[in-house]
Amino acid sequence: MLDEFIIRAIIAILLLAINASIAGTFTIFKDMPFLVAGSAHAALAGAAMMIALENYININPLFGAIIFAILVAFSAAKAKQANVAIGIAFAFSMAVAVLFISLIKEQAARVWGLLFGDLLLLTNDDIFLMAIATVLIIIVCLAFNREFLFISFDMEGAMVQGIKANFFNYLLLSIIAVSTVVTMKAVGAILVYAMLIAPAAAANKKAGSIAGVFTMAAFFALFAGFIGLLLSIYFPFSPSAIAALVATSIYFILYKKGS
């Protein structure tokens, strides 16, 4: 019989693969991989703020993380130079995170937990929140898949066609930000970039169609996640670290073959 920690880790890997397929692929299509790193570190600031205000506002820190991540997405969507806006938001968020962490020294470990993450330390509440967020992401992306693809490849063409391109751009980048927070709950802010971007980037090099990129990205993320989990059972390794190493290795192998 599987241990409950293993069962939760397996569920988290499945959810992670879905997010890597959707958010990771659209991030690659939009050519905005830095958004994931910016959103992840902004999420730390949001979580730290909610923990600092816990005596006044009893809200799950994850919601604060999501709010801050979405603000970074909005800044990227609004700016003409998206990467510059993300970089500035990144720096501002980290300053805010350090400020609030200095105020909650006794509970700073809760923020550091988001920084590093661990598939084997997830709670039932963590899995529930990850599942709810992932289901909402799936629903929105299925409803607006055509619009999201259009603005990812041809923003100006989408405007000409009468599509509310700016609205869908804000929505898509917000979904990527939320997906980043969902994923970092399992693997941490440091490794979330590898688990969201590397599988999609590898799939984009290998797959021959748009649908193939989504499918292959999910497969690569699943494979990396399960290898990490399997090795962590038999060796004193971090499952998240092994998963990130496998995911990035897949990309480099395919990159070398394609060059």
Q: What is the CATH number of the domain that holds 96?
A: 1.10.3470.10
pTM of the model: 0.89
Q: Which residues contact 3 (CB under 8 A, 6 or more apart)?
A: none
Q: How many domains does the chain have?
A: 1
pLDDT of residue 2: 65
The answer to whether 35 touches 152, Cβ cutoff 8 Å, is no
Q: What are phi and psi of 60, to 5 degrees?
A: -55, 130
Among 41, 13, 29, residue whose Cα is nearest residue 195: 13
The answer to whether 38 touches 72, Cβ cutoff 8 Å, is yes
- Identify the domain containing residue 153 by its residue range: 4-258
The pLDDT tens digits along the chain (259 residues) read 568 889 999 999 999 999 999 999 999 999 888 889 889 888 888 888 888 888 778 777 888 889 999 998 998 888 777 878 888 888 888 888 888 888 877 777 777 777 777 788 888 988 998 999 999 999 999 999 999 999 999 888 888 888 899 999 999 999 999 999 988 878 887 788 889 999 999 999 988 899 999 999 999 999 999 999 999 988 888 898 999 999 999 999 988 776 5
Residue 178 burial (C-beta neighbours within 10 Å; 0-12, 13-18, 19+): buried
To the nearest 5 percent, what fractions of the chain are helix, strand and coil? 85, 0, 15
